[in-house]
Amino acid sequence: RPTTSGKYYMIEKGRSTWGRDWSSVEGSVLCHSCFDRFKRRGTLERCPKEEKAGPSRCEYEGCAKPEESSRFHVIDAARTSGGQDWTPVAGKVLCNACFDRYKRRGTLERASQ
């Protein structure tokens, strides 16, 4: 039983609210998140993560974790984020950490190097 939800729902026999068949979870106690998921989709299964579309590796050779990022950015030469000149890295793929570093400092070099 999860302990992070402040609200729990006991699913009683014969429940038919929101046009769902609740018989598969009768007698269960659901946290708010699970209750809401079942109410919306009729299942407790989470949506599978979609296959990554697009690049999934940072092209900066000095990147500490080139395949471990929540997001990868394809750099457009016309980008102006952070007031930086992005033409030196135009066309490259950067992980979120390298992208943020370049946006803040205008370089991919780490400060500790």
pLDDT in tens, 35-64: 888 888 888 887 665 554 667 899 999 999
With cut-offs at 50, 70 and 90, classify the pLDDT of residue 102.
very high
Mean pLDDT, the chain, rounded, equals 84
The reply to whether the predicted model has a pTM over 0.85 is no
3-state secondary structure at position 79: coil
Query: Helices (H), strands (E): how many in the chain?
Result: 2, 4
Please, which residues have CB within 8 angstroms of residue 111's CB and are 6 or more apart in sequence? 105
